[in-house]
């Protein structure tokens, strides 16, 4: 199978000479051409990870500055008692938007930005698996963010706190701001789930050959865990948003106690998201420290497995903490106590990381640098935040500290120490990879001290202010309570901190034309991202096989070999962008994966989907419909042209005598993984809605309030029809593989008809029994589950039609059958959804 | 007055002690960690390099130490916790119940004496006896509010559709300030109340007096103006025809520590101001403005109300 | 072609998560059981000791399962004959790494299960 010593591809090293060099130059020319970013206005249709990473990071930093200005406004208003710098209404919008923008438009996107930019190089590959998805995520984020931030200029910003508790946030008091908040969130949810898909598939399947999981850079371990967390944390928020919007738009009473609803459900769903969210934000920043510390200790990390423990442990435990945000809501003491215990426990893996960094430094030969300065300062701040976190984990103490400035102090200590300072460290560290220049060490030191001192002066007093009784979210306070000096000091500190931030911004954006170019690996780091020169777009000149955790330290010849194209995929003979897919555990090469190049479809999809959300916020239904149709068309175009392409040949020689297939379907394929991961997220959202159904049962003596249910018959009929549709899909896949194409197409049609029938039966139950969702939460939640199921059935039908069209168009054949594999995978999840929905609504609580 | 670090109640005192212990422990841990960190980041020319095994041991023992400290802390807290809010009074032991309903942006208060005396309705101020456990029954009429008297104990949310209980025991007499501690709308910052802890005998006398109308309720120009302007549609004054339930009960408003739900001192001037421009004093408030009334009418009503002791 | 939900190699990556998953299930069992019990029974009810007993039983089961997972991890780690770092580019190193990391996670999960169960030891009623 493997032809040795082919003349293309620079495989075995031949005698040096102009022959060899000419070949290399020809390769470089082709590589450069295929990886080129588009120019002119078309530049914005680029999908290169380096371009998108820079756009993402810049946009996130701009939103951070916007939110920072809002914070300064807040602090100015609070500098003296009974101040009138801001009215109550503007103040409430300012603090709400500050939190919302910082959490959703800065903290989450900034780590996505870093990951998109630096992860491929770090893993020893050229790109992430779905570049158009990254682009889509970015444009969605930009559109949503501009919308949310812009609202305050119209006095229409959300004003009920960044977690928007009903009934306040679902009432008229909240104004259109609440819908704008939901809108902004929807974009971020979409972008984050897209990022999760990319990161998991990229980290599991796109590593350099030989990069086994015990050799993977720790940043990759952390991001793998974080991506998994996103998959389980964001969907409950999506479910909550659906209920929230249904209440605002349709008056379905999910949080209205007069009709059986409960505002506590929102708090559960929000915080099941919200607590893991802060770890989703914290872990990637600490992951940057895991890359920075070894570089400046000039030795490998001490305690690699302990970091894996910490990342996985934190990831799991963080899902058991959410009720600690609800300690004052009157839930049973024993319930609260479980969450106190878990909140204490999570400090263990958190502390492990700090011990690992200290241990590595102790065993190393430390050299000073601005990244280490920010990193160490951040850790010091974070430790204080961690200690106060252990304090508020204890519910009786939290009963005093909750909703006071003590918590404001705690959350800023952990977020600024544990996230912002490491991100700034990462900015200084990775800056040379963007354009080949270094940031100024002198300005970096000044910025650090301004930020460090300013932050502590601003936030340390708040511990005292809070315990002296100052609640959160108050636009002013009276004189006699002993808070005056504390608040003034905090305000001064905030401005000092802001000055430090401005110094960093100034240094990052000022033109550096005259500055010296940074050397190729200015910090003498050991990991592979430093093998990607910023002057070229191709990432790695060739894809190496790695043999250690710090290849640039331990394999001295490696960089030269990569640059000379002596490794895999040094060329782009067919004019396509290519990367290697490798096995999960041991990094064995499995496939050549062709990543899509520049496309305007991702941009159009983001704008049209955005258009749908925006139009719906303003109740412009026709516009929403038109936008939705446009989105659908663009999406179909994207999928048809960008996935499941049949290659011109079965295999390709990737260099060094290795030949790999170009088309793989089923479990090892990237598309299958993407579908699997997406459906896990989707399934979690469904699970959250189901949780809502059972939650309402627990809080009511008489759940159905005497109202009619959907009966048993129609739901069970629907269940049967969906199961049948699913079974036929499985059969259809086998028919296709066996070459029985005609029967395959018939099976698709049959399954499609069964799906439509099942949807009808599913809707028939609530419809025929006159279940009115505006009346009470029971009919509302039943309708929600049914509509969710039918909407997914609609997606299933589109997928079946797509496969049918693909079969007729010759892109889905018995040999090239990725599409049907992925669609059948969707149908597994569809079956589970349908079974649970119809069994639950049909049998519970009736059968009890 | 509003400080959790200045306890005057059983729960606040326990928690304050726990907090002090945690601060000391935290300071020790912080000093050790930062000391280690500062030592570790020393430039390699200034200190010896620790061996890899030694460094790895730091991770192991640091983790074991963390587990031990957290375990002890958790066990101690759980044991303190279980003694805090006693719900189940000994049979036969009287317990005063006070129901408080949070509204935007004021407090509806009802006293349910345990000895069968009549119920007393009030607003915006809480009085309790020292040394006797009081059970607060907390509800909300609209948004989520939260009831908090820091010197006495922790807070409890007031959630519409749900009744929460908070048990507090004052250990010292005094005047404290309670606040709403859950963002509830535009004037959330302006929703507070005085909490007065009195000696038991004084409290009993006070409560008994409150069951009857104020001596000054009956007469005068002020009351006539009050009724004429329709104030009775929202407010109740015992001993007069005014029986509105929408707004705070004003039967004994003159004797409160403050008005406007804890935000203005209780004088004729401030009452007059509140009548004239409640929306300026408290943005988002439900009470309409009476700035169109002649000034002498406003003064008359304010003087009358201040007299309702 | 048998019916396999996941590729074999991914199954063996997922054994890393065995102990934390046991913790998660234990946590959910304790929390959901207590929440439904307290919601349906009312604040102070004579059945509370049964709940505490149930939590105790669930805890013992969880701890035993975690000990089993820890034993398997210890075995995968070669019974500790080789110390970390396991950073060599061969399958043996990779397996030792997996074993050690899984063992550490088992220890964390063991501790976390005990922490979760402690409330049942100290609290005697649903309270509010």
Mean pLDDT by 10 residues, chain C (128 residues): 50 84 96 88 69 93 95 88 89 92 96 95 81
DSSP state, residue C29? H
Supply the CATH number for residue A99's domain: 1.20.210.10
Query: Over the stretch A743-798, which tens digit does the pLDDT of each residue have?
Result: 999 999 999 999 999 999 999 999 999 899 999 999 999 999 999 999 999 999 99
pLDDT at residue A75 in the model: 97
Of A214, A320, A342, the CB nearest to C94: A214
Cβ contact (<8 Å) for A305 and C105?
A: no
A732/chain C closest Cα distance in angstroms: 16
Structure tokens at A760: 């009808």
Q: Is A330 on the interface with B (CB under 8 A)?
A: yes
Q: Which residues contact A431 (CB under 8 A, 6 or more apart)?
A: A437, A438, A439, A508
Of A161, A171, A372, the CB nearest to B41: A372
| 3-state SS track over C74-113 | HHHCHHHCCCCCCCCCCHHHHHHHHHHHHHHHHHHHHHHH
Residue ranges of C 31-50 with Cβ closer than 8 A to chain A: 31, 34-36, 38-40, 43
Among A215-224, B4-13, B213-222, the least confident range: B213-222
User: In terms of Cα–Cα distance, which of A675, A695, A681 is closest to A784?
Assistant: A695
pLDDT at residue A522 in the model: 93
**What 3-state DSSP class applies to B175?**
strand
Strands B174-180 and B264-265, how do they pair?
A: unpaired
Domain presence at residue A647 = no
Q: Report the C-alpha gap between B29 and A384 in whole angstroms.
A: 10
Helices (H), A484-600: 484-509, 551-554, 558-563
B166/chain C closest Cα distance in angstroms: 9
pLDDT at residue C2 in the model: 41
Spacing of C-alpha A715 from chain mean position: 36
DSSP string, B265-290: E-SHHHHHHHHH-HHHHSTT-SSPP-
Q: Report the C-alpha gap between B4 and B153 in whole angstroms.
A: 8
Q: Report the C-alpha gap between C53 and C68 in whole angstroms.
A: 23
Q: Report the C-alpha gap between A343 and A337 in whole angstroms.
A: 10
Structure tokens at A803: 């496969």
Estimate the crossing angle of helix A777-809 against helix A670-699, to 10 degrees.
170
Cβ contact (<8 Å) for A334 and C119?
A: yes
For A809, the domain range is 700-847
Residues A355 and A290: beta-carbon distance below 8 Å:
no
Q: Give partners of B (≥3 CB pairs < 8 A).
A: A, C
Q: For residue A294, what is the nearest residue in chain B, using CA coordinates?
A: B41
Point out the residues of chain A with pLDDT beneath 50.
Answer: 1-11
Q: For residue B142, what is the nearest residue in chain A, using CA coordinates?
A: A167
Helices (H) and strands (E) in chain C, counts: 4, 0
| Cβ neighbours of C115 in B, within 8 Å | 70-71, 74
| Cβ neighbours of B70 in C, within 8 Å | 115
Residue ranges of A 695-724 with Cβ closer than 8 A to chain C: 698-699
- The residue of C38, C45, C122, C124 whose CB has the most chain B CBs within 10 angstroms, and thus the best one to mutate to test that interface, is C122
Residues C30 and A325: beta-carbon distance below 8 Å:
no
pLDDT at residue A7 in the model: 44
Residue ranges of B 100-129 with Cβ closer than 8 A to chain A: none
> Of the residues A463, A483, A516, which one is the last residue of a structural domain?
A516
Query: Over the stretch B103-135, which tens digit does the pLDDT of each residue have?
Result: 999 999 999 887 777 789 999 999 999 999 899
Domain presence at residue A333 = yes
Residue B216 has pLDDT above 70, yes or no: yes
Q: Give partners of C (≥3 CB pairs < 8 A).
A: A, B
User: In terms of Cα–Cα distance, which of A768, A795, A767, A761 is closest to A783?
Assistant: A767
Residues B84 and B75: beta-carbon distance below 8 Å:
no
Q: Which residues contact A580 (CB under 8 A, 6 or more apart)?
A: A125, A206, A208, A209, A543, A568, A569, A589, A590, A591, A592, A593, A654, A660
Cβ contact (<8 Å) for B82 and C124?
A: yes
Q: Report the C-alpha gap between B119 and B183 in whole angstroms.
A: 30
Q: Report the C-alpha gap between A95 and A177 in whole angstroms.
A: 13
| Cβ neighbours of A342 in C, within 8 Å | 27, 112, 115-116
Angle at B148 between CA A468 and CA B156, to 5 degrees: 130
C31/chain A closest Cα distance in angstroms: 6
Phi, psi of B145 (to 5 degrees): -115, 180
What is the number of CB-based contacts under 8 A between chain A and chain C? Answer: 147
| Cβ neighbours of B54 in A, within 8 Å | 362-363
Number of domains comprising chain A: 2
Q: Where are the beta strands (DSSP E) in B192-266?
A: 192-198, 258-259, 264-265
Cβ contact (<8 Å) for A332 and C97?
A: no
| 3-state SS track over A465-504 | HHHCCCECCCCCCCHHHCCHHHHHHHHHHHHHHHHHHHHH
Cβ contact (<8 Å) for C128 and B67?
A: no
Q: Is B233 on the interface with C (CB under 8 A)?
A: no
Cβ contact (<8 Å) for A337 and C119?
A: yes
Phi, psi of A579 (to 5 degrees): -140, 165
Q: Report the C-alpha gap between A310 and A305 in whole angstroms.
A: 9
Q: How far apart are the first and last CA of chain B?
A: 23
Residue ranges of B 48-77 with Cβ closer than 8 A to chain C: 56, 67, 70-71, 74-75
- The residue of A319, A333, A334 whose CB has the most chain C CBs within 10 angstroms, and thus the best one to mutate to test that interface, is A334
CB B99: neighbour CB atoms within 10 A? 17
Q: Which residues contact A508 (CB under 8 A, 6 or more apart)?
A: A61, A427, A431, A439
> Of the residues A483, A516, A549, which one is the last residue of a structural domain?
A516
Query: Over the stretch A351-389, which tens digit does the pLDDT of each residue have?
Result: 999 999 999 999 999 999 999 999 999 999 999 999 999
Comparing B239 with B46, which gets the higher pLDDT?
B239
Q: Report the C-alpha gap between A718 and A756 in whole angstroms.
A: 10
| Cβ neighbours of B15 in A, within 8 Å | 396-397, 399-400
ipTM: 0.95
| Cβ neighbours of C38 in A, within 8 Å | 332, 334-335
Residues B184 and B102: beta-carbon distance below 8 Å:
yes
CB A350: neighbour CB atoms within 10 A? 26
Q: Report the C-alpha gap between A727 and A747 in whole angstroms.
A: 10
Q: Report the C-alpha gap between A218 and A305 in whole angstroms.
A: 10
pLDDT at residue B48 in the model: 83
Q: Give partners of A (≥3 CB pairs < 8 A).
A: B, C
Q: For residue C6, what is the nearest residue in chain A, using CA coordinates?
A: A667
Angle at A533 between CA A532 and CA A534, to 5 degrees: 115
Q: B139: which strand partners? A: B101
Q: Report the C-alpha gap between A171 and A60 in whole angstroms.
A: 31
What is the sign of the dihedral through the CA atoms of A232, A234, A235 and A237?
positive
Q: Is A309 on the interface with C (CB under 8 A)?
A: yes
Cβ contact (<8 Å) for C123 and A349?
A: no
Structure tokens at A233: 């944390």
Residues A609 and A140: beta-carbon distance below 8 Å:
yes
User: In terms of Cα–Cα distance, which of A141, A105, A114, A139 is closest to A49?
Assistant: A114
Cβ contact (<8 Å) for B179 and A264?
A: no
**What 3-state DSSP class applies to B63?**
helix
Q: Report the C-alpha gap between A32 and A26 in whole angstroms.
A: 10
Burial class (CB in 10 A: 0-12, 13-18, 19+), C78: middle
pLDDT at residue C3 in the model: 45
What is the sign of the dihedral through the CA atoms of A197, A198, A203 and A209?
positive
pLDDT at residue A1 in the model: 39
Q: What is the mean pLDDT of residues B223-252?
A: 92
Residues B29 and B69: beta-carbon distance below 8 Å:
yes
Summarize chain A as % helix, strand, coil (round to 5).
70, 5, 30
């Amino acid at each position: 199978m493997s032809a040795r010593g082919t003349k293309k591809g620079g495989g075995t090293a031949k005698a040096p000479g102009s022959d060899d060099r000419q070949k290399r130059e020809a390769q470089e020319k082709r590589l450069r051409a295929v990886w080129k970013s588009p120019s002119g206005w078309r530049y914005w249709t680029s999908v290169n990870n380096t371009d998108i990473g820079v756009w993402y990071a810049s946009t996130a930093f701009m939103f951070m500055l916007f939110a920072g200005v809002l914070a300064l406004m807040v602090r100015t208003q609070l500098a003296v008692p009974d101040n009138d710098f801001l009215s109550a209404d503007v103040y409430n919008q300012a603090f709400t938007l500050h939190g919302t923008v910082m959490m959703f438009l800065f903290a989450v996107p900034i780590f996505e930005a870093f990951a998109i930019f630096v992860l491929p190089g770090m893993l020893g590959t050229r790109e992430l698996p779905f570049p158009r998805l990254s682009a889509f995520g970015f444009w969605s984020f930009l559109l949503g963010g501009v919308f949310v931030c812009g609202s305050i200029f119209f006095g229409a910003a959300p004003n009920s706190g960044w977690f928007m508790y009903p009934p306040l946030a679902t009432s008229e008091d909240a104004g259109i701001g609440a819908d704008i908040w939901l809108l902004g969130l929807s974009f971020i949810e979409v972008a984050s789930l897209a990022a999760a898909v990319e990161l998991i598939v990229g980290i599991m399947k796109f590593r350099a050959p030989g990069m086994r999981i015990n050799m993977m850079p720790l940043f990759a371990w952390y991001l793998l865990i974080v991506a998994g967390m996103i998959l389980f944390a964001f969907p409950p928020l999506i479910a909550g948003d659906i209920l929230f919007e249904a209440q605002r738009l349709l008056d379905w009473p999910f949080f209205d106690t007069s009709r059986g609803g409960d505002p506590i459900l929102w708090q559960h769903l929000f915080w099941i998201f919200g607590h893991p969210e802060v770890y989703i934000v914290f872990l990637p920043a600490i992951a940057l420290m895991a890359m920075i510390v070894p570089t400046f200790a000039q030795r490998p990390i001490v305690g690699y497995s302990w970091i894996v423990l910490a990342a996985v442990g934190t990831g799991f435990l963080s899902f058991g903490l959410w009720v600690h945000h609800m300690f004052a809501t009157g839930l049973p003491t024993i319930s609260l106590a479980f969450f106190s215990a878990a909140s204490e426990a999570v400090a263990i893996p958190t502390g492990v990381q700090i011990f690992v960094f200290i241990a590595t430094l102790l065993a190393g030969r430390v050299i000073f640098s601005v990244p280490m300065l920010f990193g160490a300062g951040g850790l010091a701040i974070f430790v204080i935040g961690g200690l106060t976190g252990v304090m508020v984990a204890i519910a009786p103490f939290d009963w005093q500290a909750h909703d006071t400035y003590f918590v404001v102090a705690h959350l800023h200590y952990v977020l600024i120490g544990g996230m912002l300072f490491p991100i700034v460290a990462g900015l200084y560290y990775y800056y040379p990879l963007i354009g080949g220049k270094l940031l100024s060490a002198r300005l970096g030191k000044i910025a650090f001290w301004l930020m460090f001192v300013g932050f502590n002066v601003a936030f340390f007093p708040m511990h005292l202010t809070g315990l002296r009784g100052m609640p959160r979210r108050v636009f002013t306070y009276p004189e006699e309570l002993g808070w005056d000096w504390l608040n003034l000091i905090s305000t001064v500190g905030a401005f000092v901190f802001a000055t430090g931030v401005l110094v960093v911004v100034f240094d990052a954006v000022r033109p550096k034309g005259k500055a010296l170019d940074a050397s190729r690996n200015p910090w003498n780091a050991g990991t592979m991202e430093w093998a990607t020169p910023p002057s070229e777009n191709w990432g790695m000149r060739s894809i190496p096989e790695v043999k250690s955790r710090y290849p640039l330290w331990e394999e001295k010849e490696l960089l030269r070999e990569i640059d000379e194209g002596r490794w895999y995929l040094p060329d782009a003979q067919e004019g396509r962008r290519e990367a290697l897919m490798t096995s999960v555990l041991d990094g064995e090469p499995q496939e050549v994966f062709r990543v899509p190049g520049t496309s305007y479809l991702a941009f159009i999809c983001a704008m049209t989907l955005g258009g749908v959300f925006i139009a719906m916020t303003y109740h412009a239904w026709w516009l929403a419909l038109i936008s939705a149709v446009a989105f659908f068309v663009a999406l179909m175009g994207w999928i048809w042209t960008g996935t499941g392409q049949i290659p011109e040949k079965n295999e390709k020689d990737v260099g060094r005598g290795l030949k790999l297939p170009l088309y793989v379907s089923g479990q090892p394929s990237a598309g299958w993984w993407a579908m699997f991961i997406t459906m896990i997220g989707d399934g979690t959202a469904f699970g959250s809605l189901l949780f809502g159904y059972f939650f309402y049962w627990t809080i009511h003596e008489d759940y159905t309030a005497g109202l009619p249910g959907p009966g048993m018959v129609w739901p069970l009929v629907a269940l049967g029809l969906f199961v049948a549709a699913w079974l036929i899909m499985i059969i259809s896949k086998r028919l296709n593989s066996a070459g029985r194409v005609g029967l395959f197409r018939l099976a698709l049609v049959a399954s499609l008809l069964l799906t439509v029938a099942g949807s009808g039966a599913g809707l028939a139950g609530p419809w025929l029994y006159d279940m009115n969702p505006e009346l009470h939460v029971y009919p509302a939640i039943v309708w929600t589950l049914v509509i969710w199921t039918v909407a997914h059935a609609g997606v299933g039908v589109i997928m079946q039609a797509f496969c049918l069209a693909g079969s007729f168009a010759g892109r889905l054949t018995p040999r090239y059958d990725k599409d049907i594999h992925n669609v059948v995978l969707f149908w597994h999840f569809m079956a589970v959804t349908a079974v649970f929905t119809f069994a639950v609504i049909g049998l519970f609580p009736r059968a009890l | 007055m509003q400080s959790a670090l200045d306890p005057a109640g059983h729960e606040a005192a326990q928690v304050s002690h726990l907090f002090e212990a945690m601060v000391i422990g935290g300071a020790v841990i912080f000093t050790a960690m930062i000391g280690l960190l500062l030592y570790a980041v020393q430039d390699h020319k200034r200190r010896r390099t620790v061996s890899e095994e030694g460094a790895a041991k730091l991770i192991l023992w640091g983790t074991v130490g963390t587990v031990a400290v957290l375990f002890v802390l958790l066990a101690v807290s759980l044991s303190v916790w279980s003694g805090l809010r006693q719900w189940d009074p000994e049979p036969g032991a009287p317990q005063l119940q006070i129901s408080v309903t949070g509204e935007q942006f004021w407090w509806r208060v009802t006293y349910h004496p345990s000895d069968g005396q009549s119920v007393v309705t009030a607003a915006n101020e809480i009085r309790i006896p020292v040394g006797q456990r009081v059970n607060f029954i907390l509800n909300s009429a609209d948004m989520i509010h939260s009831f908090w008297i820091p010197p006495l104990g922790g807070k409890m949310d007031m959630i519409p559709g749900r009744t929460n209980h908070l048990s507090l025991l004052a250990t010292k007499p005094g005047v404290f300030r309670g606040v709403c501690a859950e963002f509830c709308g535009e004037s959330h910052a302006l929703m507070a109340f005085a909490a007065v802890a009195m000696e038991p005998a004084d409290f009993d006398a006070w409560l008994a007096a409150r069951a009857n109308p104020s001596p000054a309720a009956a007469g005068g120009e002020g009351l006539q103006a009050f009724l004429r302007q329709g104030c009775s549609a929202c407010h109740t004054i015992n001993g007069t025809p005014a029986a509105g339930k929408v707004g705070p009960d004003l039967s004994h408003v003159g004797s409160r520590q403050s008005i406007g739900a804890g935000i203005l001192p209780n004088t004729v001037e401030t009452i007059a101001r509140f009548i004239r421009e409640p929306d300026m004093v408290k943005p988002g408030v439900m009470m309409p403005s009476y700035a169109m009334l002649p000034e002498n009418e406003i003064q008359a009503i304010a003087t009358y109300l201040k007299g309702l002791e | 072609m048998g019916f396999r939900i996941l590729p074999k190699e991914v199954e063996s990556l997922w054994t890393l998560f065995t102990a934390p998953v046991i913790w998660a299930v234990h946590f959910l069992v304790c929390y959901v059981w207590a929440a439904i019990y307290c919601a349906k029974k009312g604040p102070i009810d004579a059945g509370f000791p049964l709940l505490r007993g149930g939590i105790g039983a669930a805890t013992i089961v969880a701890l035993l399962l975690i000990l089993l997972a820890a034993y398997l991890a210890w075995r995968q780690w070669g019974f500790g004959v080789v110390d970390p770092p396991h950073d060599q580019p061969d399958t043996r190193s990779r397996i030792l790494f997996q074993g050690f990391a899984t063992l550490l996670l088992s220890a964390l999960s063991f501790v976390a299960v005990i922490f979760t169960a402690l409330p049942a030891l100290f609290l005697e009623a649903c309270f509010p």
